[in-house]
Structure 1
Amino acid sequence: MSSKPNSHQAQTTSSSANSPTTSTPNFKTLSGVVERVTFQSDETGYTVARFLPDRPTDRQATNNNSTSASPRFRATKGDDNLLTVVGTMVGVVAGEALELTGLWLQHPQHGWQFKVENYRSVLPATEQGLRKYMGSGLIKGIGPKTADKIVAHFGLETLDILENTPDRLIEVPKLGKHKVGLIAKAWLEQKAIKEVMLFLQGQGISTSLAVRIYKEYGDASITIVKNEPYRLAREVWGIGFKTADKIAQALGFAIDDPERIKAGTLYVLSEASDSGGHTYLPRPQLALKAAELLGVTPEQVETAIEGLVLDGGAQVETLTVDPTDGSKGFVPLIAVTVYEPGKTAATSQQETNVGTGAANVTTQTTAKKVAAKPNILTSDVATYATKSPSSASVPTAAALHESVEVYVGSTPTLSALPGEQAVYLPPFYFAEQGIANHLLRLAHCSPQQDRLITLKQTNFATMFEYLTTKESLKLADRQEEGVVMALTKPVGVLTGGPGTGKTTSMRALIRVLTLKKKRIILAAPTGRAAKRLSEATGLEAKTLHRLLQLKPGGKSQYDHRANPIPADIVIVDETSMLDTLLMNNLLKGIATGTHLLLVGDADQLPSVGAGNVLADVIGSAVVPVVKLEQIFRQGEGSAIVTNAHRINQGQMPLMGKEITDFFFFGEDDPELAGDLVVDLVAKRIPTKFGFKPEEIQVLSPMHRGKCGVGYLNEKLQEVLNPPSERKGQKQYGGKLFRVGDKVLQLRNNYEKEVFNGDSGVVMELSHEDQVVTVKLEDGREVEYDFGELDELTLAYSISIHKSQGSEYPVCVIPLAMGHYMLLERKLIYTAVTRAKKLVVLVGSKKALAMAVRNGPKRESEEGTLLSAAPNNSGKDSSSHRAGRYTGLTVRLLHNQN
């Protein structure tokens, strides 16, 4: 072991913990070593640490009843010699030698603390300090044991070796070549990242985001942040416009800087898609919302929109067509519709030669075109205007200057006002166009292209008799219609609520196709939904992401012309979860002539991503739809399916002593209701019904509050997976991850092939390698660097939206009046339909009644759907209940014509 003096001893790194220090007589200076870090925020860098000074401080001297430094003081680890230091100290680790400048403050609970204003990092000068410094987790791949080995071999030369000749680490016994490479890379990265963190800390940026910035831009990070801060919002996941704007403002960017207004406008569009599910916003609404956010005028935003269009950052299209010049555009859906059984529905269009059609509504969620002639009666209802076949024989329709709602299923689709422009982010614009074009391409395939054309000659009566007698698959009339549709129509939709026989219909269809030796592809949007589909049908089902082998950027490997999906029919379950981008990727990979069957419940919540695909496809009436309504799956004494349908019809669920699988625990106080949820999951349900806690899923309508996802996750983690010495854990931002935790993926990660909504369990956690290993539901194990933990969240409690496509033995659903803005029928309906064996509602009965009463539409005194257009203030009056701005239905109707 060498004892050569450390050449790094004189090299230091300087940083300001808050703002630059000015000379003041109150500031004191301390030198010493960080003994341990008690707390450190990844978001702010705020740190609480125990500090061992090189020599006694005036505070220690005072505590020892001495007015001067004690000559007997020794820098040892005794509690009397350790100080508490607090302040913003980004990336400080145990073992690090620091020179601190700050003030002594007396905390009412914790006593004297040294509040750091400035600090200077000095690399360790002793072997003991090196061991502590290197084994602190600072360098990926080096834990305490590895640090001991390296320092034992190189002594005070250790940092020189790491800096200049890291290949020599191979000299350390049992340190393999692979590990040496990892350590060398990690040493260089942590140095560069720390420089970036020290710069960004001055701009108020968290450590975790600084790591992401460095991974995106490398050595150019500081230059890009200084000169192009708004790039961060577009290119670094986890950094939105508000964070980028905060950096830009600190760096002196003007409030009316054109790049700022463009970035803010894109942020409003992005938020509309992420939070509201909109694929576009009407231009006037976008201008007002962006102006309000940015503190500029709508005219300045209009200029920014023009610039974005020229740059390709946005797409603009007028949603109406001028019938006098035949210009291209959308056929306007200027309609107001009553949608209740027993009432009359009317449709009209703003053209001089179009009249109104009327229909008696007998079913609640069926929609077909009604010809634009007076007094047309049908058992179904149209929600759109249609061009008149005879302009001479129909009266003129009154112009309706209102936003349009096309209601099919549970989520209405909104349209801009006549003549308004729709402003899209390019991916949604091209995806909507793609869906309309591809869907019609598939639907209009020729007999020569149709890969199931021979099945049209089938004797279906004989076929269904065979399925009944030989395969034990007896179908009701509507189920048979669904099977025939899938076999004879290139594109079709099979929809229905829980227990109505969608799965049985698919099993019968698959059996026929298998006997005919046809190639079948089964898919679903999520891993949980694909697993359920596989179990129900006996065939392998893939997630759409894996089927399409989506790459970073969301690009599919399949193309319907050059490399189509190898199938005669593609069957997709849980299609209410399909968002616009994923649907487009699916359709463009299906060859003309391959059949497509979309299966789903139109009354479920729409997709988490932007769009309202299933409802829009059904609403367009361009493809056949079979709706199953008869309830089959209803075990004796079971109330789950019955109550799901009651809720969907606006009726309170049945509860009573005779019902043993559907319960309500009343508790109006949200905090007490939250505590009751924890008690039910941890004790009562396992004791009473025998379910394990891991079989119970809490589904909450919202994230905040005592009945929200965040609070319940913390409490459930404490009870179900308490800390122990055997379980590694890692604090990241405001979340604590521990071995054994249920976790959920928050975004699509194409490199890891893990997607938004995938869930798993933390199996391992290594501070030495700075890696968390998660076992997913499909059995794969995936590693996350500590810097990637913001992709995960705890999953003891999840949002109802995140539960789509899943089934759980038991669902516990908290309801509080604090959730009233989100309490809606389809939300509770979706939550209840996730449970297989037991539903437990907890909270306010008033909240439950409000949710059941609040359907997807709001009605005026005349009984028509209210417009969800923005009001004069520019604030979006469309809500979770009011629907989504999408152009897909209009595009389908326009392209069909």
Structure 2
Amino acid sequence: MPLAQALPGCEDALPQTLQRLRASGVVGSPQVPGACPLIVDDEGRVYLHRDFDLERRLAQRVVRAARFDPQPLTSEVAAQLGALFKADADADAVPDWQQIATALALRQRLLVISGGPGTGKTTTVVKLLACLLAQAPQARIALAAPTGKAAARLVEAVNARATNLPAALRERLPQTASTVHRLLGVTPQGFVHHAGRPLALDVVVVDEASMLDLALATQLLEAVPAAARIVLLGDQHQLAAVESGAVFAELAVDPGLSESCRVALEAACALPAGSLRPPTPLQRGALQDSVVWFERNYRFAASSRIGRLAAQIKGGEGDAALATLQEAAQPDTADGELLWCDDADTPPAPRVRQAWLQGHGPYLQAVQQAVQQALPAGPEAAAALAHAFARFRVLCAHREGARGMAAVNAALDAHARQRLALLHAQHPSPPGSAFYVGRPVMVLKNQPLLQLFNGDIGITLPPAPGESGLVVAFAQAGGEVRRVPAQRLPEHQSAWAMTVHKAQGSEFDAVLVLLPEARSPVLTRELLYTAVTRARQRVLLAGSAAVVAAAIAAPTRRHSGLGARLREALAALVPSEP
């Protein structure tokens, strides 16, 4: 936090205050941090020493990757790019930023791609990996994401978009993805891989990188070999990580290109000279030639109300967003894609409660059919139930309260127990247990020994032959299923509803976004944008006009100094000329 904000009204005395603090021996500076427990940087930000050290180490690693000697974009590379992107040529999308991002990743060691859902980030990664594998068939590639669900979705998306590649290339694409924790080899003592014992990899692709907090981002990038390529995919407009830092947003602020890089990209992508003009940066950054913004959405048509609402929220256009919601609420203009319930009731209005019951109805029916038909205990049945459950979710801004996650989960637990009473009688749980067949469960605490991590979601199932008591099946990336006895789970909760923070990295066919009855510090523009963009097909937004407007008018402000540390690291790496 800036010292000026911590001491409002004392701006004139700040220089003297800083001088006294630094003379105390308790507060250090970026230039002389020493062993001081607190650091105050040149812009007045106050850090714990640990956080400042993490920020500086991350900046140094990122800048070294960004400034690594660029690779030439040869005529062979240009031919590869032309072949891969020829079928996607679109006169309305010149220049093709997916092609440019691929070329940039082939030239540089670091690429940061920021774009919303449906803007083509995964498609670009598939084509990039195809180019890299054509050049180096034995390249060691890892796909990763902060959560298990995001990792599974990444590998599914990669496989789906690889169908047009030659079979020889398709077979060499990674078939699995892991969480960042699994990639680093988490143990009770820490991580197996770190700066002193780096990963044996040539390429690391991290999806949903906006979820990386300062500590995990630093540990990950320090564990990547210096010569390896790093590709970070995310959306700078989404919620930042729950823990400290706004790492991805700070890295993605400036999509600027140097003159030499621009010329090289235009030649490799067969663009007219001078035609490549990146978007205007949010502010000047230190990662020139390493950032691309994807702004064209391929998922939602221009007429899509979800796409329009998301853009209006992102842009802070409160009046326009409310007009879109009001249009969607009118019977004569409703299209089923976007619905709005102007509701601030406590508890939620009957229409809202009915919507969450109906939303999970197909999943409950699938559980009944699967268990009654005694489907095999193999991974296919469990994966099918996990897929059915993933189609709909209630997303809450708050954990507690009548419109919070806990209340919705309690209501849906009661409904599910009643709906699945016969299955519960056939496969009872111990007295007092919260478990029942069909209960969806979210893990809340890492348990490395069980290979379970915060955010993993599993489905409670009857025991298979040889198992004792109910089990929870967790679908893994690559089609595998991990079955864990219910009584061995670490801290967990029901997963019918989840907070928007926990929903990051996930997508659903439909979501019900349940806003609080009144304004809240938690309810921000980024939270509302993240909630709406979790949906692929349908959104029901339940909240009053006043609460929606307040959220859009409240952008998150994190006082990160990563941008300053990046500039310092760049200056140290490339000293200014005298």
What is the TM-score with the length of structure 1 in the denominator? 0.47
The one-letter amino acid of 2:540's match is V
| Secondary structure in 1 matching 2:153 | helix
Query: Which of these residues, 422, 437, 441, is aligned with residue 739 of structure 1?
Result: 437
Aligned equivalent of 2:342? 666
The one-letter amino acid of 1:436's match is A
Structure that is richer in helix per residue? 2
Aligned equivalent of 1:701? 397
Specify whether residues 676 and 281 from structure 1 end up closer, same or farther in structure 2 by C-alpha distance, changes over 3 A only. Answer: farther
The one-letter amino acid of 1:777's match is A
1:266-285 aligned within 5 A: none
Displacement, 1:831?
A: 0.6
| Secondary structure in 1 matching 2:293 | strand
Specify whether residues 780 and 665 from structure 1 end up closer, same or farther in structure 2 by C-alpha distance, changes over 3 A only. Answer: same
Specify whether residues 892 and 817 from structure 1 end up closer, same or farther in structure 2 by C-alpha distance, changes over 3 A only. Answer: same
Displacement, 1:534?
A: 0.7
The one-letter amino acid of 1:711's match is A
Displacement, 1:522?
A: 1.5
The one-letter amino acid of 1:478's match is W
CA distance in 2, matches of 1:421, 1:662: 42
Considering only CA atoms, is the larger Rg found in Structure 1 or Structure 2? 1
Specify whether residues 693 and 841 from structure 1 end up closer, same or farther in structure 2 by C-alpha distance, changes over 3 A only. Answer: farther
| Pair 1:441-2:139 in alignment | no
Query: Which of these residues, 232, 240, 253, is aligned with residue 606 of structure 1?
Result: 240
Aligned equivalent of 2:406? 710
Query: Which of these residues, 476, 484, 487, is aligned with residue 106 of structure 2?
Result: 487
| Secondary structure in 1 matching 2:341 | strand
Q: Does structure 2 conserve the Cα–Cα contact (< 8 Å) formed by 1:494 and 1:502? A: yes
Displacement, 1:429?
A: 4.2
CA distance in 2, matches of 1:750, 1:800: 25
Aligned equivalent of 2:483? 781
| Pair 1:541-2:158 in alignment | no
Specify whether residues 640 and 492 from structure 1 end up closer, same or farther in structure 2 by C-alpha distance, changes over 3 A only. Answer: same
| Secondary structure in 2 matching 1:597 | strand
The one-letter amino acid of 1:643's match is L
The one-letter amino acid of 2:116's match is G
Specify whether residues 683 and 693 from structure 1 end up closer, same or farther in structure 2 by C-alpha distance, changes over 3 A only. Answer: farther
Q: Does structure 1 conserve the Cα–Cα contact (< 8 Å) formed by 2:69 and 2:108? A: no
Displacement, 1:808?
A: 1.0
CA distance in 1, matches of 2:123, 2:45: 45
Specify whether residues 782 and 317 from structure 1 end up closer, same or farther in structure 2 by C-alpha distance, changes over 3 A only. Answer: farther
Aligned equivalent of 2:128? 509
> Residues 828-875 of structure 1, C-alpha deviation per residue, up to 9 Å, x if partnerless?
1101111112111123232223223x241xxxxxxxxxxxxxxxxxxx
| Secondary structure in 2 matching 1:884 | coil
Higher-RCO chain (CA-CA 8 Å, sequence separation at least 6): 2
Aligned equivalent of 1:820? 520
Query: Which of these residues, 286, 308, 313, is aligned with residue 621 of structure 1?
Result: 286
Displacement, 1:633?
A: 2.0
Aligned equivalent of 2:193? 558
Displacement, 1:460?
A: 5.0
> Residues 280-334 of structure 1, C-alpha deviation per residue, up to 9 Å, x if partnerless?
7969959xxxxxxxxxxxxxxx9xx98xx8xxxxxx5436xxxxxxx5469xxxx
Aligned equivalent of 1:333? none
> Residues 536-585 of structure 1, C-alpha deviation per residue, up to 9 Å, x if partnerless?
112322211111111124x3322455x43232221111110011121112
* RMSD across aligned positions (CA): 3.5
Aligned equivalent of 2:352? 677
Displacement, 1:802?
A: 0.3
Q: Does structure 1 conserve the Cα–Cα contact (< 8 Å) formed by 2:345 and 2:517? A: no
The one-letter amino acid of 2:206's match is V
Aligned equivalent of 2:79? 462
| Pair 1:498-2:117 in alignment | yes
| Pair 1:846-2:463 in alignment | no
CA distance in 1, matches of 2:184, 2:346: 44
- Stretch of structure 1 that moved more, 513-522 or 455-464: 455-464
Displacement, 1:737?
A: 3.5
Q: Structure 2: give runs of 5+ residues left out of the alignment.
A: 8-20, 160-173, 254-284, 367-387, 572-578
CA distance in 2, matches of 1:549, 1:841: 40
CA distance in 1, matches of 2:5, 2:541: 42
Q: Does structure 1 conserve the Cα–Cα contact (< 8 Å) formed by 2:250 and 2:563? A: yes
| Alignment length (residue pairs) | 457
The one-letter amino acid of 1:757's match is G
1:235-634 aligned within 5 A: 317-318=28-29, 328=32, 422-424=46-48, 426=50, 428-446=51-69, 453=71, 456-469=73-86, 476-516=95-135, 517=137, 518-538=139-159, 539=174, 540-553=176-189, 555-560=190-195, 563-619=197-253, 620-623=285-288, 624-634=290-300
CA distance in 1, matches of 2:126, 2:554: 33
| Secondary structure in 2 matching 1:743 | strand
| Pair 1:892-2:563 in alignment | no
CA distance in 2, matches of 1:738, 1:498: 35
CA distance in 1, matches of 2:544, 2:309: 18
Q: Does structure 2 conserve the Cα–Cα contact (< 8 Å) formed by 1:637 and 1:660? A: no
The one-letter amino acid of 1:642's match is R
Specify whether residues 497 and 485 from structure 1 end up closer, same or farther in structure 2 by C-alpha distance, changes over 3 A only. Answer: same
Q: Does structure 2 conserve the Cα–Cα contact (< 8 Å) formed by 1:486 and 1:492? A: yes
| Secondary structure in 2 matching 1:592 | coil
Q: Does structure 2 conserve the Cα–Cα contact (< 8 Å) formed by 1:770 and 1:785? A: no
Specify whether residues 843 and 885 from structure 1 end up closer, same or farther in structure 2 by C-alpha distance, changes over 3 A only. Answer: closer
Structure that is richer in strand per residue? 1
Displacement, 1:639?
A: 2.9
Displacement, 1:594?
A: 0.8
CA distance in 1, matches of 2:521, 2:194: 43
CA distance in 2, matches of 1:894, 1:472: 41
Specify whether residues 458 and 545 from structure 1 end up closer, same or farther in structure 2 by C-alpha distance, changes over 3 A only. Answer: farther
CA distance in 2, matches of 1:811, 1:672: 16
Q: Does structure 1 conserve the Cα–Cα contact (< 8 Å) formed by 2:28 and 2:40? A: no
Specify whether residues 896 and 418 from structure 1 end up closer, same or farther in structure 2 by C-alpha distance, changes over 3 A only. Answer: closer
CA distance in 1, matches of 2:207, 2:124: 12
Specify whether residues 584 and 636 from structure 1 end up closer, same or farther in structure 2 by C-alpha distance, changes over 3 A only. Answer: closer
Specify whether residues 473 and 421 from structure 1 end up closer, same or farther in structure 2 by C-alpha distance, changes over 3 A only. Answer: closer
CA distance in 1, matches of 2:41, 2:394: 41
| Secondary structure in 1 matching 2:111 | strand
The one-letter amino acid of 1:659's match is D
Displacement, 1:520?
A: 2.3
> Residues 132-170 of structure 1, C-alpha deviation per residue, up to 9 Å, x if partnerless?
xxxxxxxxxxxxxxxxxxxxxxxxxxxxxxxxxxxxxxx
Specify whether residues 283 and 668 from structure 1 end up closer, same or farther in structure 2 by C-alpha distance, changes over 3 A only. Answer: closer
Q: Does structure 2 conserve the Cα–Cα contact (< 8 Å) formed by 1:813 and 1:831? A: yes
CA distance in 2, matches of 1:600, 1:593: 23
The one-letter amino acid of 2:61's match is H
Displacement, 1:676?
A: 3.4
The one-letter amino acid of 2:307's match is V
CA distance in 1, matches of 2:527, 2:110: 29
CA distance in 1, matches of 2:117, 2:297: 8
What is the TM-score with the length of structure 2 in the denominator? 0.71
The one-letter amino acid of 2:357's match is A
Displacement, 1:813?
A: 0.7
Q: Structure 1: give runs of 5+ residues left out of the alignment.
A: 1-279, 287-301, 310-315, 320-326, 331-414, 448-452, 857-880
Specify whether residues 685 and 548 from structure 1 end up closer, same or farther in structure 2 by C-alpha distance, changes over 3 A only. Answer: closer
CA distance in 1, matches of 2:127, 2:224: 23
